[in-house]
Amino acid sequence: MKLRPWNNIKIDECNEPLISIPKSIFRLTPHPYMSLGAPYLTGADPWVLRRSVLNRLIRAQQHLSEINPQVQLALFDAWRPISVQKFMFNHTIQETCKSKGIDINNLSVNEEINDVIEEVGRFWAKPSSDPLTPPPHSTGAAIDLTLADMTNKPLDLGGEIDFIGPESWPDFYKKDSFKLLLSKYQVFQDRRSLLFSVMEQAGFVQHPNEWWHFSYGDQLWSWLTKKGNAIYGAALEVSKDITLLDPSLVT
C-alpha cells in the first residue's frame, strides 16, 4: 500500500496531553467501534483529544451556534489506539469483500482482495506502529463528526460516516447542487459546507476523501497548511489533567 503524501512530514512532538471531551459537546452513542468489539483497553475513554485540538473543537461548536443555533456538532469518533485502527481496518476489508461477494479466504481471488485493500486504504489509514507514520486518529489530533439538530437527531449529509465510495468525497454533491436548486443534493452540499466552514474557522483541515474527518496538528494538517512539520505523533496514554488551555471556552 502506497504512503500518503503527508506521511513524509516530520513530526516534532509537543507532548501535549490527551484530555476528555466535555459532554456539553454531543457525541453519538453507543460508540460505533466499541459496539463492534474493537479492542480498547478496559476502562479506556475514546472521547479524548489533544488539549489544543479540543479547544478548537469547542470553538467550532461556538461558531456553529452563532451561525445556526438550531444545529450542533455530533461527534462520531476521536482518539483511536493503533490496536483499534488495526481492528477496524481489517473489519472494513472483510465487510467490503463480503459486500462484493469476494471470499477473503480464497487464494485464487488475491487480486480482487488486493483491490479492496487499496480501496479501503484510501479511507482508512494503515495501522502502522512506525512512529514516523502514525494513523491520524492515534495522535489525538483527528476527529470524525457530523451535524445534529438540538434534539440530538443526526442530520442527513448525503452519506454515512466511514462509507467506502465517492459519496464520501467532501464535494461529491457540489456539481449537482448547482444544477438542481432546492434539491436534496443542495441540502447535502450546504450541510457539508457548513460543517467545513465552522471547522476551518477553528483551524482544522479536512481529509480530502472524507467529509466527516477533520484534524489539527497532525501530518495531514501540516501538509495542507504547509506548516513544515506536525506537532503530534501517536498518543498512547490519557492524562488525568483535564485543564483546557482556555477554560472560558467550556460552557
Q: In angstroms, rounded to a whole number, what is the distance separating the alpha carbons of residues 120 and 146?
A: 21
The pLDDT value given to residue 247: 37
The average pLDDT across 206-214 equals 97
- Does the annotation count 210 as an active-site position? yes
Which amino acid would we find at residue 50?
Answer: R
Band (218; pLDDT cuts 50, 70, 90): very high
Band (237; pLDDT cuts 50, 70, 90): low
Q: In angstroms, rounded to a whole number, what is the distance separating the alpha carbons of residues 67 and 244?
A: 24
- Return the biggest CA–CA distance within the chain: 60
Domain with 96 in it: what CATH number? 3.30.1380.10
Q: Alpha carbon of 84 to those of 10, 52, 101, 118, 236: distances in Å? A: 24, 23, 25, 19, 12
* Catalytic residue (choose from 13, 16, 112, 210): 210
The pLDDT value given to residue 202: 98
Band (180; pLDDT cuts 50, 70, 90): low
- 95 within 8 A of 49, measured Cβ to Cβ: no
Over 90: is that where the pLDDT of 107 sits?
no
Structurally, the chain folds into a number of domains equal to 1
Over 60: is that where the pLDDT of 214 sits?
yes
**Which cell goes with 1?**
500500500
3-state secondary structure 65-124: HHHCCCEEEEEEECCCCHHHHHHHHHHHHHHHHHHCCCCCCCHHHHHHHHHHHHHHHCCC
Tens digits of per-residue pLDDT, 43-98?
788 999 999 999 999 999 999 999 999 999 999 999 999 999 999 999 999 999 99
174-208 burial, b if ≥16 CB within 10 A, otherwise e?
A: eeebeeeeeeebbbbbebbbbbbebbeebbbbbbe
- 233 within 8 A of 130, measured Cβ to Cβ: no
The average pLDDT across 112-137 equals 90
Q: In angstroms, rounded to a whole number, what is the distance separating the alpha carbons of residues 218 and 113?
A: 30
> 51: domain range?
5-249
Q: Mean pLDDT, the chain, as a whole number?
A: 90
The average pLDDT across 189-204 equals 97
